[in-house]
Amino acid sequence: MTGPELAEAGRLLAAATRPVVFTGAGMSAESGVPTFRDARTGLWQRYDPAELATPAAFRADPALVWGWYEGRRHGVRRAEPNAGHRAVAAIQARLPETVVITQNVDDLHERGGAAAPVRLHGSLFAPRCAACDHPAPLPDDAPEPPAGRLDPPACARCAAPVRPGVVWFGEALPEAALAAAVEAASRCDLLLTVGTSALVHPAAEVPLVAARLGAPVVQVNPVETPLDAVCAVNLRGPAGEVLPALVRAAWPADVGR
């Protein structure tokens, strides 16, 4: 990828010291992780994911919801970080004050080399008790269960059902994560938004915070989004192609090292 837009985005990145990288589902889709609305395959075709992603659905049928999310978790475990994830890690390695904020619930940023991403929507790999909120980690080597309904494990503290560690419809974002995201956006000198539709609120407010306070916003997305109007540069294309090109544009002397 070349062109004046890429050159300008590279200049902005090279000049930054406190960038924020804000990522959405498009980042992980290139690793084969289906976006939420696409995650309707096999036994789950007759279910609307939005109807499974609520506290009420879990109360009504814990085995149905837990089984669906266990399928998602094991699918993510089979996926691999893509070139976009590795480029984010390269930015963070070059600029140690980089803050990665993600709406994704997978672990691909960490496996791609990024440190301590701020997780606005929780994680598939951090289940917790539905009653007392006690963490209930699952072993990494747990075998993949048969597809279908699956009873959730019991909490070790209170014996209530364990739930997926993600934010469901109707739930507030984790206070600490949202506060950290807003703080990072408030003090950044560049916000790079990647693979997000900018339609899911309040997460979609994060780039707007940076823009309102004068930080340039660079968007990487194959299609137009509501953020187009506030961006200094819009780079059209998938993250796995655009982000490595952006890193090369920012630090051409590093190419080939």
Using CA atoms, how far apart are residues 75 and 168, in angstroms rounded to an integer?
19
Cα(107)–Cα(112) distance, rounded to whole angstroms? Answer: 9
- Residue 239 is assigned to a ligand binding site: yes
For residue 255, pLDDT beyond 80: no
**Residue 106 is assigned to a ligand binding site:** yes
3-class SS at 255?
Answer: coil
Per the model's pLDDT, the better-predicted residue between 42 and 200 turns out to be 200
**Residue among 74, 109, 121, 134 flagged as catalytic:** 121
The reply, when asked if residue 83 is annotated as ligand binding, is: no
At residue 43, the pLDDT reads 47
Q: Is the model's pLDDT at 30 over the cut of 70?
A: yes
Q: 230-239 in b/e burial notation, b at 16+ Cβ within 10 A? A: bbbbbbeebb
Q: Calculate mean pLDDT across residues 176-181.
A: 97
Task: Name the band, by pLDDT with cuts 50, 70 and 90, for residue 226.
Answer: very high
Q: At what angle do helices 175-187 and 205-212 cross, to 10 degrees?
A: 30
User: Is 186 annotated for ligand binding?
Assistant: no
pLDDT at 40 over 70: no
Over residues 114-142, the pLDDT tens digits come to: 999 999 999 999 999 999 999 999 887 77
- Clarify whether 201 is annotated catalytic: no
Q: Quick check: 23 and 236 in contact, CB under 8 A?
A: no
- Residue 82, marked binder: no
1-32+81-121+173-257 has CATH 3.40.50.1220 classification: yes
Half-sphere exposure of 82 (CA within 13 A, CB side): 20
User: Which of these ranges, 8-22, 69-83, 97-111, has the smallest mean pLDDT?
Assistant: 69-83
Residue 255 marked ligand-binding:
no
- CATH code, residues 34-78+128-163: 3.30.1600.10
Interval 29-49 mean pLDDT? 67
Domain ranges of the chain: 1-32+81-121+173-257, 34-78+128-163
Helix (H, G, I), strand (E, B) or coil at 9: helix
Averaged pLDDT, 51-65: 92
Give the distance, in angstroms, between the CA of residue 167 and the centroid of all CA atoms in the same chain. Answer: 12
- Over residues 74-94, mean pLDDT: 96
What is the mean predicted confidence (pLDDT) over 24-49?
72
The verdict on whether residue 221 carries a ligand-binding annotation is: yes
Average pLDDT over the chain reads 92
- Indicate if the pLDDT at residue 211 is higher than 70: yes
**Can you tell me the mean pLDDT for 103-110?**
96
pLDDT of 206: 97
- Lowest-pLDDT range of 12-21, 22-31, 184-193: 22-31
Helix (H) or strand (E) holding 191: strand 190-194
H or E element, residue 15? helix 4-15
Mean pLDDT across 62-71: 92
Domains 1-32+81-121+173-257 and 34-78+128-163 share a fold: no
Given this model, what pLDDT does residue 12 score? Answer: 98
d(C-alpha 122, C-alpha 126), whole Å = 8
The DSSP H or E segment spanning 85 is: helix 83-94
Amino acid at 50: A
Band of the pLDDT at 18, cuts 50, 70, 90?
Answer: very high
